[in-house]
């Protein structure tokens, strides 16, 4: 009897120790808010209209730019940021494309397909973190609302474009005030304003400056809110953009459909880049015709796509790829319906090495160096950086490299 009592006491003591250890671990976990400003070009922070971003810069880290992956499109880059993988490896190769094995079509405007988890071959950071005991949340990020529960953040919302920005900010602040055992420590946020305005009015316009200022005010509301709940000093903020923007106009267009009259082919995407698929018998013929007329664009057979694009491995990539010269557009007849001068003055999707396609990288908080400026950051390296901050084991299939980015962290990290 005495033995059983001692055993129960020992078990109870062990449970108490485990409970307190878990609580201590939860309270010691860092906080990170990863924010995306869609289409926010690298030089937008240099226009003297972003006082709140400057607050983070002055006390944190600013890179000259962030280098996106090719193609410099929204979904491929957001997935690359959150998985640390090239599009050819994580599977989301464009904003729209067809699966050659089942003829299903991925399109960012199709919510059912976007939520279908089988499209996504990479492991998002929130998956890695959840598996290792980190509570995660997303107020929007491509793939965060996929249809398999275990592949989503603990807290998430299906994307709704019209939800006001102040509602998003207040919801994140509410998450951060949940009890410790329910509170997310990793949160993503997404804001599209500069992308839409950049497309319509261009990256050098009064309208884009208004959009830049508006997003800065939204960031200011988040910072003020963190101050009010006494978490400003404990939250790491990483502000990134998925790509930049360049000026375009309706004059610089190449109609591929007119060039390939008489041939049966399929195409996906247009503007800065286009994929073309056709019967095997016509691949060389179509390629030769496009090569013969190559002017203000480059055409590649899949096996000959330059290695620096890292865009040839996936079976979802078509047999022929066209990449337009900066500012030019490769199109088909259907594109003429929307390419009007009044709404087509900026675009992205071009060669990711061109500076106009680069975005911003700014970070501040207890885990980052103070007042530190660096060169270009590779977007693939954000995933391993997050793993380092949270001291968790990364997925071993990533393309990102910690040693290219960890120097921006406080040297005391992990000590």
- Which residues belong to the active site? 74
* Strand partners for 63: 374
Going by DSSP bridges, is the β-strand pair 235-240/361-364 parallel, antiparallel, or unpaired?
Answer: antiparallel
Q: How big is the chain, counted in residues?
A: 415
* Strand partners for 33: 187, 237
- Phi/psi of residue 193, nearest 5 degrees: -50, -50
Question: If residue 375 lies in a helix (H) or strand (E), which one and from where to where?
Answer: none
Cα R_g (the chain), whole angstroms: 23
User: ω into residue 71 within 30 of 0, thus cis?
Assistant: yes
Question: If residue 245 lies in a helix (H) or strand (E), which one and from where to where?
Answer: none
Residues 6 or more apart whose Cβ sits within 8 Å of residue 276: 256, 265, 266, 267, 286, 290, 318, 319, 320, 321, 322
Coil vs helix vs strand at 246: strand
Task: Label residue 210 exposed, middle or buried (CB < 10 Å: 0-12, 13-18, 19+).
Answer: middle
**Residues 47, 48, 53, 57: what is their CA dihedral angle, to the nearest 10 degrees?**
90
**Residues 31/236, Cβ–Cβ less than 8 Å:** yes
The b/e string for 75-100 (b: 16+ C-beta within 10 A; e otherwise) is: bbbbbbbbbbbbbbbbbbbbbbbbee
What is the token pair recorded at 338? 């929307």
Going by DSSP bridges, is the β-strand pair 31-37/235-240 parallel, antiparallel, or unpaired?
Answer: parallel
């Amino acid at each position: 009897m005495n033995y059983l009592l001692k055993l129960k006491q020992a078990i109870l003591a062990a449970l108490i120790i485990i409970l307190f250890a878990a609580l201590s671990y939860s309270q010691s976990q860092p906080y990170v808010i990863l924010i995306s400003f869609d289409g926010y070009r690298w030089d937008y922070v240099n226009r003297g209209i972003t006082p709140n971003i400057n607050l983070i810069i002055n006390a944190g880290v600013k890179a000259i730019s962030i280098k996106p992956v090719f193609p410099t499109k929204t979904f491929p880059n957001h997935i690359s940021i959150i998985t640390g993988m090239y599009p050819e490896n994580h599977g989301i190769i464009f904003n729209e494309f067809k699966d050659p094995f089942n003829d299903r079509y991925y399109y960012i405007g199709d919510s059912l397909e976007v939520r279908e988890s089988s499209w996504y071959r990479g492991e998002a950071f929130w998956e890695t973190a959840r598996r290792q005991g980190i509570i995660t949340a997303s107020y929007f990020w491509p793939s965060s609302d996929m249809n398999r529960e275990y592949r989503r953040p603990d807290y998430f919302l299906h994307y709704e474009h019209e939800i006001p920005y102040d509602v998003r900010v207040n919801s994140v602040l509410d998450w951060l005030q949940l009890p410790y055992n329910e509170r997310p420590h990793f949160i993503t946020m997404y804001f599209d304003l500069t992308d839409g305005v950049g497309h319509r009015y261009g990256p050098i316009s009064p309208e884009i400056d208004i959009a830049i200022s508006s997003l800065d005010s939204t960031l200011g509301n988040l910072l003020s809110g963190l101050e009010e709940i006494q978490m400003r000093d404990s939250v790491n903020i990483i502000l990134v953009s998925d790509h930049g923007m360049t000026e375009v106009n309706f004059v610089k267009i190449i109609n591929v459909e007119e060039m390939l009259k008489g041939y049966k082919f399929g195409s996906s995407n247009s503007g800065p880049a286009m994929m073309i698929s056709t019967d095997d018998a016509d691949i060389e013929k179509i390629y030769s015709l496009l090569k013969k007329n190559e002017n203000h664009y480059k055409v590649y057979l899949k096996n000959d796509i330059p290695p620096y694009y890292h865009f040839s491995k996936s079976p979802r990539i078509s047999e022929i790829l066209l990449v337009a010269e900066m500012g030019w557009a490769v199109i088909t007849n259907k594109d003429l319906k929307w390419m009007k001068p009044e709404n087509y003055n900026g675009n992205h999707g071009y060669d990711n090495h061109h500076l106009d396609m680069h975005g911003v990288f700014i970070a501040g908080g207890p885990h980052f160096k103070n007042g530190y400026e660096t060169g270009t950051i590779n977007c693939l390296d954000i995933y391993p950086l997050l793993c380092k901050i949270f001291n968790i084991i990364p997925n071993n299939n990533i393309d990102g490299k910690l040693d290219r980015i960890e120097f921006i962290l406080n040297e005391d990290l992990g000590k």
